[in-house]
Structure 1
Amino acid sequence: MNYEWLDEYCLSKKGSQKDFKVEWDATRYLIGGKMFAMQGGDKDKKAIITLKCDPLFTRSLRENYQHIVAGYYMNKEHWNSLYLDGDVPDDIVKQMIDMSYELVVGKLSKKAQKEIREEKLSLS
């Protein structure tokens, strides 16, 4: 598959920012200072994106797609890594990004969530 749209899609999320973590050799996508996606490589330098998911959805994805595995170097219950040379459909990848973003936003303070919602409204 061709996932060249990943960077633009992650950054399209309101309030999202990205940085590069040199020691991880990975690009992180953040909301409110918390990571919702990380694009880098596994121990063999194979390109992956790692995303937070609901635990039930996490297991389902791993069962249905061979290119989705337990989150590389992350909590295996809540994070999945997707190999970017795989064949997971774009709509599933977007659903995973959306879920990761929403799960992380949901853990932010009420004040931070309100600021993000207000930003969404003012930019709409």
Structure 2
Amino acid sequence: MKQIWMRWILSITVIVICLFILFPHVSSVSVTKETKQEWEILNPEGVIKIEAMKINPHPSTLEGKTVMLRWNGKHNGDKFLQRVEELLKERVKGVKVIKSWEVAPETVDPITGNQERSQEFAKAIAKFKPDLVIGAQSD
């Protein structure tokens, strides 16, 4: 029994030595130096060119002015704007209030979809020559 045990240990030892000879890279521990990583951060959104635009002057008072209330059709936005109308008529002398959804129902749309359609809405509202437009999105 002792001879069998000795042969088994000798066989294992020979196999291990042969493996180290055949595969020397396994026996040596390779330590690589840590290298500095450089990352380039990219923004996938792209570049948007924004052109400066001239802002219309704001009226110093709303007395005697025409105010257009613009509703986009979202839930309860019209109710909010009706309250704005009440407050304007209560607090501002001679103010004229026009509701866009009554005089230009084609402008009632929660999603215009594109710039051209938004410009069409603006032109439809501009035909009434308001001094000021107040919009409610009700989001």
TM range (shorter): under 0.3
- What TM-score results when the alignment is normalised by the length of structure 2? 0.25
Structure exhibiting the larger radius of gyration computed from Cα positions: 2
- What TM-score results when the alignment is normalised by the length of structure 1? 0.27
Which structure carries more relative contact order (alpha carbon 8 Å, separation 6+)? 2
Specify which structure has the higher proportion of strand.
1
